[in-house]
Amino acid sequence: MSVVTVERKVLEKNDELAQLNRELFKKHGTFVINLVSSPGSGKTSLLEKTLEHLNGRVKVAVIEGDVQTDLDAQRVAKFDVPVVQIVTNGGCHLDARLVQDALGKMELGGINLLVIENVGNLVCPAGYDLGEAMKVVIASTTEGDDKPLKYPAMFRNASVLVINKIDLVPYLSCNLAELRANALRINPNLAVFETSCTTGSGVREWSEWLITEAGTTSR
């Protein structure tokens, strides 16, 4: 049996489970995003700032994926939202089965928005459907402006790009316009937000967009 055949079977099984997850989300009217990025892009920091802005406006739950430790789940739990930690023990991405298992520990009733924070990796998560409504890829300015060209599959499969750490641009060689242009060259349909967790710039716009999407789903 070839490697390609094995990979196809794994992805087909994953897609079947992802569809079951998707049907569950639809049943409860829960809008689900899959946050993906390289390590150190500021996923958890952006999530914290987002939860601050969403506080009391929509009901949010979080699934945290990490190779080791539950440190990010501890950070998120401080915002008094339901959170389930998935530790992959070396695995480089979440899959639909892991999310399905996590959902067994969570009550979705009344949840408007579920955020799945994936393992820091721009390769493996690109091909795995978790049942989410959309992938949101975060690219920080510290990674340079050519990230979309190096990891096109992730940007092609995402619906939203958040360019994070824009406050650091004066100290970097990253060109924001070039980063945006490179991403849109790969995927012209990307919605793009620019944020800074240090200054708070752009967080309101990003959060308000989430509120609108979550509200639309729940109706």
Can you spell out the DSSP letters for 80-125?
A: ---EEEEE-TT-SS--HHHHHHHHTTS--TT--EEEEE--S-SSGG
For the cut 60, the answer to whether the pLDDT of residue 3 exceeds it is: no
Contact by Cβ (8 Å): 163, 177: no
Predicted pLDDT of residue 5: 55
Predicted pLDDT of residue 67: 84
For the cut 80, the answer to whether the pLDDT of residue 1 exceeds it is: no
List, for residues 160-204, the tens digit of each pLDDT value: 999 999 999 999 999 999 999 999 999 999 999 999 999 999 999
Q: What's the total number of domains in the chain?
A: 1
* Distance, CA of 15 to CA of 130 (rounded, Å): 8
Strands 160-164 and 31-37: what pairing?
unpaired
Domain region containing 138: 3-218
Can you spell out the DSSP letters for 146-183?
A: -HHHHSHHHHHH-SEEEEE-GGGGGGSS--HHHHHHHH
Across the chain, what does the average pLDDT equal? 93
Instruction: Name the residue among 211, 168, 188 with its Cα closest to residue 41.
Output: 168
Predicted pLDDT of residue 7: 56
Q: What is the pTM of this model?
A: 0.93
Contact by Cβ (8 Å): 131, 26: no
List, for residues 17-56, the tens digit of each pLDDT value: 999 999 999 999 999 999 999 999 999 999 999 999 999 8
For residue 58, the tally of other CB atoms under 10 A from its CB is 17
List, for residues 88-141, the tens digit of each pLDDT value: 987 889 999 999 999 999 999 999 999 999 999 999 999 999 999 999 999 999
- Residues paired with 137 in a beta bridge: 36, 161
* Distance, CA of 153 to CA of 156 (rounded, Å): 5
Here the CATH number for the domain that contains residue 133 is 3.40.50.300
For the cut 80, the answer to whether the pLDDT of residue 71 exceeds it is: yes
* Distance, CA of 116 to CA of 90 (rounded, Å): 18
Rounding to the nearest 10 degrees, give the CA dihedral for residues 142, 147, 153, 159.
60
For the cut 60, the answer to whether the pLDDT of residue 218 exceeds it is: no
Predicted pLDDT of residue 56: 84
